[in-house]
Amino acid sequence: MRSDSSASGERTAAPRPAPPRGERAWSARVLWAGGLGNVLEWYDFGLYGLLAPVLASLFFPNQSRLVALLDVYGGFAAGFAMRPIGAAVLGRVGDRIGRRSVLVLSVVLMGAATVALGALPAYASWGLWSPVLLVAIRLLQGFSVGGEFVGSVTYLVEQAPPGRRGLAGSTANLGATAGLLLAAAAAAGAASWAGAARLAAGVWRWPFLFGGVIALAAYLLRRHLPEREVAPAPPRRRSPLGQALREAPRLMLLVTLFTSGYGIADYLTMVFLPTFAHEFGRVSIAAALRANTAGQALALFVVPVAGWLSDRVARRRTILAAAFFAEAAIAWSAFAWARQGPGGFYLAQLAFAGLLALIMGAGPAMLAEQFPPDYRVTGHAVAFNIGIGVAGGSAPLVAVALIRAAAAPMAAAAYLAGAALLAAITALLLRDRSRQPAI
């Protein structure tokens, strides 16, 4: 039986043609193009999570507060549940047609869905159709996002000069961090400027509609990206997903478990925590969003530094395991601080943001390096999106359900600690190829 460790990246793959002279993808334009789609992706998902209390009152007005939050986060989770399907479909496009094709297609779909959400009438106008269409839009967004992040990571890491894959991969998460920062700033600005009444009356739409501008900019940058040729698939060759599952089942499982812990930690600390501090502590929505914005700003600086460190100083696996063990260690204390008022919440948010930024800097290249080129987009995308999408996207929903079932707000902290430990342990089981000259 073929060992999956061999199939997961140590077998020799046929070399791909080098890009034409003068078109090296390691350029400012291509880095912008690779990162900007992730700005839109995480701007939209971050905005939805941060404005969850407002959306709950507009689209599910006849429910109790906790049930309405469960409904809104259910829509959040539904979008993520579509990500593995989008990963399989769009990943095949990336592996069989070209990396650029999936980047263009995903950003067009994502931009259309974001604008549609901003224009969607509330329950008071359309009744039951409003929450139904809200969930449908989330499904389309989830499908498009399924190929976006991994497609851009693959493109950037494959094109990076020797010894700079960590920094190149971190550019995708730099875009993701910028998207969350922009979402936090937009939500905080709208809440602080408009006030609760005007925010609910319609100001909440403006940040979503602005997502269309980001989508247009990303499309214009991506449509003429340089592209490496992709060899046509031989007749009767299995799909990239089938190939990944046959040749590297252990790797697919480990990456799925790792990204599950990663996704839960991400969404509990940077999306759910502001709602937690407001609903179960003494923090206003505006104050919680301002602290979240500060955390995103901190991460924006730490992410590329962590990518560079993973190339030059410490191995990627070491950085990832250490950061997740630290997150598990402080989970209970940080959630307790978040309930004590704005000062404690700022401390918790900044601590979590700093640790997550280390993970976001070292993680993309680490995961891309696990897979061979012929199913790199598909294998990575499916495993990543099951973990980040299903486990991470449902994390706020599960956290609220645990709090309700246990009648104890700190149940969310225990959930975070368990997820961080899972990610730390599985990171140590992955191979570290951070010093290999080529992948």
Q: pLDDT tens for residues 188-232?
A: 788 878 777 778 788 888 888 988 888 888 888 888 776 655 444
d(CA 299, CA 380): 24
Domain assignment of residue 96, given as a range: 27-230+240-429
CATH number of the domain residue 34 falls in = 1.20.1250.20
Q: Is residue 4 part of a domain?
A: no
Could you tell me which of 45, 225, 77 has the C-alpha nearest to residue 151? 225
pLDDT for 350 equals 96
Q: What is the mean pLDDT of residues 263-281?
A: 91
Q: What is the DSSP letter of 283?
A: -
Q: Is residue 13 part of a domain?
A: no
- Using the structure block, give the residue that is written with the tokens 């070292």: 362
Look at 385 and 30; give whichever has higher pLDDT. 385
Q: Is residue 1 part of a domain?
A: no
Q: Is residue 3 part of a domain?
A: no
Q: Is residue 276 part of a domain?
A: yes
* pTM, to two decimals: 0.77
d(CA 29, CA 220): 11
Burial class from Cβ neighbours inside 10 Å (0-12, 13-18, 19+) for residue 161 reads exposed
pLDDT digits (tens, 9 = 90+) for 298-323: 988 999 999 999 999 999 999 999 99
Total domains present in the chain: 1
Structure-derived torsion over alpha carbons of residues 248, 250, 253, 255, reported in degrees to the nearest 10: -70
- Using the structure block, give the residue that is written with the tokens 């003068």: 22
Q: Is residue 41 part of a domain?
A: yes
Report residue 196 as tokens: 């609760």
Q: Is residue 6 part of a domain?
A: no
Q: Is residue 71 part of a domain?
A: yes
